[in-house]
């Protein structure tokens, strides 16, 4: 496979894994709202959370078709970074310096993995 085609496949894999991480985070947010709710509203949120998380798993499996697991799977950690932002926006959770530093490491690691995926192997 030529380098240009390999790069296109990896880019698609990265896009799919980012969609998977986003859906996973949204599913978890729905579960949190469901846990805090009552009655049928709570059940609907749980179901929506399962649908979002399930769709996230589907996108993750599809992403593995287009890239290396050693590059794509760690990028799912971006969902943790997104969860911190969603928690602050929708749940009034505090963002501490420790969370910011940890999130920075997650993002930096994902960027490095994306760059590493473009390099030739040794």
The yes-or-no verdict on residue 121 having pLDDT over 60 is no
Residue 89 CA, chain-centre distance (Å), reads 17
How far apart CA 38 and CA 8 sit, in angstroms, is 46
Cα dihedral 98/26/64/15 (nearest 10): -80
> pLDDT of 3-32, one tens digit each?
788 888 888 999 999 999 999 999 999 999
Please say whether the dihedral angle defined by the alpha carbons of residues 108, 114, 118 and 122, taken in this order, is positive or negative. positive
> pLDDT of 93-119, one tens digit each?
999 999 999 989 988 988 887 776 666
């Amino acid at each position: 496979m030529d380098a240009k085609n390999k790069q296109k496949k990896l880019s698609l894999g990265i896009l799919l894994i980012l969609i998977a991480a986003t859906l996973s985070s949204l599913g978890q947010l729905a579960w949190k709202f469901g846990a805090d709710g009552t009655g049928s509203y709570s059940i609907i949120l749980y179901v929506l959370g399962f649908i979002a998380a399930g769709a996230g798993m589907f996108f993750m499996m599809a992403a593995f078709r287009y890239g290396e697991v050693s590059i794509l799977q760690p990028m799912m950690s971006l969902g943790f970074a997104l969860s911190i932002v969603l928690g602050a926006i929708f749940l009034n959770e505090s963002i501490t310096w420790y969370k910011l530093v940890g999130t920075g490491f997650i993002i930096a690691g994902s960027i490095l993995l994306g760059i590493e995926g473009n390099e030739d192997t040794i």
